[in-house]
Every structure is written in structure tokens, then in C-alpha cells.
Structure 1
Amino acid sequence: MVVETDGGSRGNPGHAGYGAVVREAGTGRVLAEWAGYLGIASNNVAEYTAVVNGLQAAAELDPGATVEVRADSKLVVEQMSGRWKIKHADLRALAEQARAAFDPARVHYTWVPREQNTAADALANAVMDSHGQIRRSHDRPTAALRAVPGEVGIPWDVPAPASVRGPAHDARPTADGAPATAAGAQVVAGNAQATEELVAARTNAPRMSGTPLPRLGGEPATVVLVRHGVTELTETGRYSGGDTPGPALSAQGRAQAARAAMLVGRVGVDVWTDVPVPTAVVASPMVRAQETGAAVARSLGLPVVSDDRFGECRFGQWDGLTVPEIEAGWPGQVLDWATTADVRPPGGESLRDVGARVARGLRAVAERHQGATVVLAAHTVVIRAAVGLVGRLAPGHWSAVRIPPASLTIVRVWPRPDVDGGLVGDLTVVGCPSELVA
């Protein structure tokens, strides 16, 4: 197995967290993801804690395997490899925990640059944001908890067990760490039992995104499609296609993009918890999509990769016009374009044209990111095409799918085409408005 680890501290020492991803060697398939908020700690403590937890996760899967630990901390790699002396007592204790977690004779350590360690880094940042924990196995149901210091975190879709119902706010510790009240002491004392109950409840709870059907052709990529926020043209009901880079987001659109970024940051943490935390961000080259993608990427600590295949439909001579203006110049053609596969605006693209390039783009994403989650900042027609392609809807029906600004749509796509050459995928979420959840 390969164990990817990363830790971070915002302030060093500051609010700290760790992330660890266990993969199957050779295929890269994700087997487990562990992450946790550490409170106030140093970066080195967080890095070592990531190794400890990553090895513990690997031991739960197969204690007889050989393990390569990959980390972007030179200190951890050199010290755990025995080439550098561990001088700090706290780090020595964590190193001993790591050796106890997995047979050291079966473990070796490799340094990797930060850009090759994005999955573990994303997990660490997610829990530093949420102050929570992630325990996710891709062979077993998910158990993910969000915690508030001094309280037991209650997952969104699980009723609180009896042991944690009641005056939860009384459980907040005072400055010296003691519970504020006797009732609070009872809640804190019951945390271990409550956590076990929450794990069991979360494990048995229905998953919001659903379990994909087993299919041939490897693991699917999960694609979180984010429609860009509004622009001045969106606000005035004007067509804005892929013929030109602009316009930029309006003030309202920037606020929408920020809300969408908040919701994307929760994917795999406390909403849609059965999919991996996003580890890549792709965006259409249009300015509005780039700005939306950048907002998401900042929240995840990831770069944005542009892909022309996800640019908005080219509307040709209709670009910048309202529907009444188009209808005045080209009577009946807007409806024909929206409800048939092969009608093109003058100088523009048909729905079939858009679908062909979106299909190529999604298949490339599925091949490159098997078993992972990718965020794609794109446009109405592009997202409708993605929904239509994986849902096997005829292009003439795609326009019936409503995709609000800054909404999230989630699909899974397998890398291998079906016997007809079409995409193999399934729909998870369609057009979830970010302001309802974020």
C-alpha cells in the first residue's frame, strides 16, 4: 500500500490538522482517508500525527502488507528513515507511535513535492476548516464526524444519541479545561460512548449521495460541477456564450462563488460524505468560470486547471441578446435549438456539438482521476450536457434541467465507454443551490 500524509498548522503553532490517504499500490485506488483536527499544535506535530494515523489506517486494512509512506515533510522522512536524529521529545513520542502502528520492517519513507501530495493536503485543510474528523473507508460505509471543541459533533443526518442529548452548550470547557457545569461534566464524560454511538449511527444512516452500482472499467471519478455565479449579462437575461472570454462575475456573482466554495469545501467532510474530498479543480476558460473556480480552489488549497472542452456553448450571433431579441430576428429558432439536437444558432453550436466535447472532457477526467473527486467550474449548457450524457437523456431534453447560478451538480463517470461508445455514469445531485446548504 501507499500512505500519503500531510499535516498543517495555521500559525505554527496554531490551529492544526492532519490528513492521510491510503491507496492500493499499482492502481492508486483510494482505500481509506483519515483526517483530524488537533487544536493548537506545531506543523511538525501535525506532520508526524498524519504518519501515525496513516499507518494505523493501513494496519486496519492489511497489517501484513508492505507500505510506502509518502510525505512532503523532509524532516519526517529523514527522521523516520533513521538518517536524522529526532531531538524533540514530542516528536520522539510520535515516532514511537508510528513504529508501534505498523511493523517498521515493512515500511519505508519517500519524500514527495507538495504538488504531488494534494489529496492528503486537502484533507488536512478540510479538518482545519471544520475542526472535525474524517474516517472514511472505501470498502466499508463512511463514518465521518464533525466536532466542536468541548462538544460531540452531530452529523447532519443522524439524530443525537440519548447520551449526548441535552445541554450540549454546558459541555464547553472553562479556561482551565474543566466543564462549565455538572451537566456539562456528564456530557464530556459520555463523549467516548457517544462517539461510538455516532459512528454506528452514521455508518447505518442513508448516504445523501447514494452508492454507485458496480460497473466494469475501474473506479469512477466523482465530478462536482459548479455553475459560475451571475454576471451583468446573467442578471439582464442575455445569452453569454463561449465566443468571448467575458464577462466577469458581478458583485452578487462573487458572493455566490464564495458560497459555492464553502459548500464544496464540505464535500466529503460533512455533506455527501461517501465521496472523496476534492483533490483537483478544473474550469472553463471563460472569465466567470475561472473566477468561480479560483474561489473554490482557494478554499481547497488547490490550483485551477483550464480545459477548453468545458467552455460554454457558442451562441454566435445570439451572443449578448435576450430571448425576445433573438425571437424578433430569428423567429422560432430559440425553441428549435433548445429542443432538438442539431439546430445551431447562426455561427454557433448545437446541443450535440456541446455534448460531444463535454463527453470527451468527462472521459478524460475519469481516466485521470479514477477513485477521486474533481471540481469543475462551468456553465449552464455544459452542466446540462453532463447530466444528459450520464442520464442518457436525448439532447432535446437537456434544456428541461434547471441549473441555478453557483449551484452544485454531482455525477460519477467511469473511464470505460459502454458498448455504444457513450459515457458510463450516474447522477448524484442536480442543481443544489449553494445558499441552501453553505
Structure 2
Amino acid sequence: MTLHVVVEADGGSRGNPGPAGFGAVVKEAATGQVLLERYDSAGITTNNVAEYSGLIAGLRAAAELNATRVDVRMDSKLVIEQMSGRWQIKNAGLRPLAAEAATLVGKFERVTFDWIPRERNKEADALANRAMDEAAGKAPRDRIEREVVTPAAEAPKSWAPPALENATRIALVRHGATPFTAQGRYSGRGDVPLTDEGEAQAMAAAGRVAGIFRDVDAVLSSPLTRCVRTAELIAAEAGGVPVTVMDDLIECDFGDWEGKTFAEVQERWPGEMSAWLASTSVAPPGGESFQAVAKRVRAAMATVLHSYPGKAVVIVSHVSPIKLILRDALAAGDAFLHRLFLDAAGVSTMDVWPDGNIAVRTVNETAHLR
């Protein structure tokens, strides 16, 4: 079964640069029925960045619906012409966004880009303005998306991945164990170190990575000590490759739940816990939602693919970022996040091609830990 959708997207900035927002509407092409809506603040940025953010949000929503064909319609001449390959991307700040959009385009059998006048893009424009109003406190914040109102189509059939010569090969490694790991405590921004067991696990993971990649071109890490130390051991095994810290690879901020067990949180914050488990838009008290984590992790992945095309890259991070990367790579839904378990020092691998094709080869390898 195939699903043909139309993505209408827009973004705007009040000040250029200034407070910005974006919106996207996904409709069934045959009927015009709205299937999903997305909108959010883009922070302080330019119109063009906000417009690209709207495009990315719309393509991601279409991927979640398992769409096979997408017709993108925007009133941004710049985005349409650049994504169609007719205009060069001269602004360096837009290149990672265009690369992320191109990666998403590769998930579909066919994507077209068409410019439309602003009066025909009113729905997406209204969502972008709503995001800016809510961020400024001028409108109540109620929801980020409208749920699917018709059953999603079946996923398109897979195909054999191309040869590896021009693929970016990525190993995703969770850090080794810390004192919180065995105790089952939420470990977010707290900078807990590896235990002796964690050090041994990290060294074992280093050996496994060396067995996967003949040569490692880059080792990237969350800024927290437990990841940096794991990355250092992997880099040493790879011949002394320098470790590069990427702040966007940091773990989710669990706020008031930091250092507490699931049972402790369930007892003290039962309502907040239920809401958090039910929606990726909900954050723990004083913390960060998975949607917010996903946004920065996608930016990090776009930077990786832009900076290391055709290279072998090791990313050392935490449970939440790695789960979100794998969710996106597999075009899975949010339920995936609660059904996947990642062991300390577990290794997952994936390949990404310039046309956006992705092959997830392994998930949570642990044989090296036994």
C-alpha cells in the first residue's frame, strides 16, 4: 500500500533574526484531509532557518506516516529552489539544515518541490505564527501536533543498500556503567564517572569498534565524563584519533528526577510520570522533553553527515540520544523509545548514503561484554 501526501510548510522570524517559529501541515494528496500538523518555536534566528525548520518538520511527519510519495509546497522561493538543486546554498548556516532535509527526502520513493503563493500556504503560516505567539506568551500553549486521523499506510518495501564506498559509517556506543547504572537511577546531566566495571566495558567496546571499522576517522562524544572517558578508550584503540566533544549529544535533562529510581519517581510524581510516558512533548519537572532532545540530536547528526561524508565515525552518547537516532533511522514511531533497551557499552551500527538512504546493521551489540 502506498501513501501520497502533500506537505505544506512555512517559517518566519519577527526581526530576521528575531523570535522565530515554523509550521507544517501534512495532507492526504487525494482528499486534502489533514493527517498531521506540526509547529514549534525555532528560537532566535532568521526567516530562512525557520522555513527550513518547517520543511524538516513536515518531512519528518510524512516519514512517520510511512508516506511513499511527498509533494512539498512552500512559499519560500529560496528553500524550493535550493532543495530542487537549481540554486546553490551559499549561506553556510543553511547547509546543515539542507543536508538534514536531503537525508529525509531519501526516505521516500519520490519527492517533488513546488513554490506556491503565500495565500495558498495560509495553514502552515498560521501554525508558524502560533508558535511565535506561544513562545512570546501571547497565546496558550496546548499542543505541538494533531494526531493521525486515518490509518498510516504500510511501510514501503526495502531495497538492498548500495556499495559502501561513499557511505558514512557510524557506530553508536553507549557509555560504560556508572554507579547509577546498576541502581537503575535516572542519569541525565549529572556528571557521574565510570565505575571499574564501566572502564572494562568501554575497553571491550573499543575492541568491538576496532573489529567493525578498519580505520576510524572521528570519535565524537557527549561532554559528560562517562562518555568522554569511553570515547578516549575507543580513540586509543583506534590509533590515537582525537576525541571531539559535541554538546548536542548530551543526555536528556531529567530535571527533578535526576538520581532517582523509577519507583521513587512513580511514587512522588505519578501524574507527571504518566504524562511523560504518554508523550514525547512532555518534560520531567524542571527537565527536557524527548522532542527537545530529538531536535538537537538531529542537528548533531546533520553536522556529522556534512562534516564526515564517506568516513567511519564513532558517536559515544547516552540512552536517549542513541534511541532517538535509531528511531529516526528506522522511521519508527515514538513507541520505539520505550521498547528498545540499550546496555551500557552496547554498540549499534548504521550506514548513511549521500542520497539519504540508511541501513541500520546492528542494534545494541553486547557479545563483546561477555
Aligned residue runs from structure 1 range 19-58, under 5 A: none
Aligned-partner Cα distance in 2 for 1:337–1:234: 21
Q: Which has the larger radius of gyration?
A: 1
Please state if 1:259 is matched with 2:204. yes
Relative distance call for 1:268 and 1:398 in structure 2 (3 A) is same
Cα distance change of structure 1 residues 366 and 238 upon mapping to structure 2, 3 Å threshold: same
- Among 431, 434, 437, the alignment partner of 2:364 is 431
Aligned-residue offset at 1:321? 0.6
1:287-436 alignment runs, 5 A limit = 287-300=225-238, 301-414=240-353, 425-435=358-368
Question: 1:372 deviation in Å?
Answer: 1.1
The list of structure 1 runs, each at least 4 consecutive aligned residues, that deviate by more than 6 angstroms after superposition, is none
Which amino acid in the other structure matches residue 232 of structure 1? P
The answer for the alignment partner of 1:225 in structure 2 is 172
Name the CA distance, whole Å, in 2 between partners of 1:365 and 1:384.
17
Shift of 1:371: 1.1
CA separation of 1:257 and 1:436: change in aligned 2, threshold 3 A: closer
CA drift of 1:433 comes to: 0.6
Structure 1 spans left out of the alignment, 5+ residues? 1-209, 270-276, 418-423
- The match for 2:218 among 264, 280, 294 is 280
Deviation at 1:240, TM superposition (A): 0.7
SS at match of 2:324: helix
> Identity over aligned residues, as a percent?
31
Q: TM-score, normalised by structure 1?
A: 0.45
Paired residue type of 2:322? I
**Number of aligned residues:** 211
- Checking the alignment, whether the CA contact within 8 Å between 1:259 and 1:434 is kept in structure 2 is no
Change (3 A) 1:220 1:395: farther
Q: 1:432 to 1:211 in 2, by over 3 A?
A: farther
8 Å contact from structure 2 (residues 201, 369) kept in 1: no
Distance 1:369-1:298 versus aligned 2 partners, 3 A rule: same
Amino acid in the other structure paired with 1:221: T
Shift of 1:222: 1.4
Q: Where in structure 2 are there 5+ consecutive unaligned residues?
A: 1-157
Deviation (angstroms), 1:297: 0.6
CA offset digits 1:326-357 (Å, max 9, x no partner): 11111043354244221110111111111111
Kindly provide the amino acid, as one letter, of the partner of residue 172 in structure 2: L
**3-state SS, counterpart of residue 429 of structure 1:** strand
Question: Residue 371 of structure 1: SS of its match in structure 2?
Answer: coil
Partner of 2:127: none
Deviations 1:383-437 (A, max 9, x none): 10010011111234212111111010112234566xxxxxx53311100015258
Give the direction of change, closer, same or farther, for the CA distance of 1:336–1:426 in structure 2 (3 Å limit). Answer: farther
* 3-state SS in 2 of match to 1:346: coil
Q: TM-score of the superposition, structure 2-length normalised? A: 0.53
Q: Output the CA distance in 2 between the equivalents of 1:349 and 1:225.
A: 22
Q: 1:290 to 1:211 in 2, by over 3 A?
A: farther
- Shift of the 435–214 alpha-carbon distance from structure 1 to 2, 3 Å rule, reads closer
Give 1:308 shift.
Answer: 0.7
CA distance in 2, matches of 1:369, 1:406: 23
CA distance in 2, matches of 1:211, 1:250: 43
> For residues 335 and 379 of structure 1, what CA distance do their matches in structure 2 show?
23
Q: Retained in 2: the 8 A contact 1:220–1:366?
A: no
Instruction: Tell me the alpha carbon deviations over residues 175-198 of structure 1, each in whole angstroms, 9 at most, x when there is no partner.
Output: xxxxxxxxxxxxxxxxxxxxxxxx
**C-alpha distance in 2, partners of 1:266/1:288?**
23
Q: Output the aligned Cα RMSD.
A: 2.3
Structure with the bigger RCO (C-alpha within 8 Å, sep 6+) is 2
Structure 2 Cα separation of the partners of residues 233 and 363 of structure 1: 31
Aligned to 1:213: 161
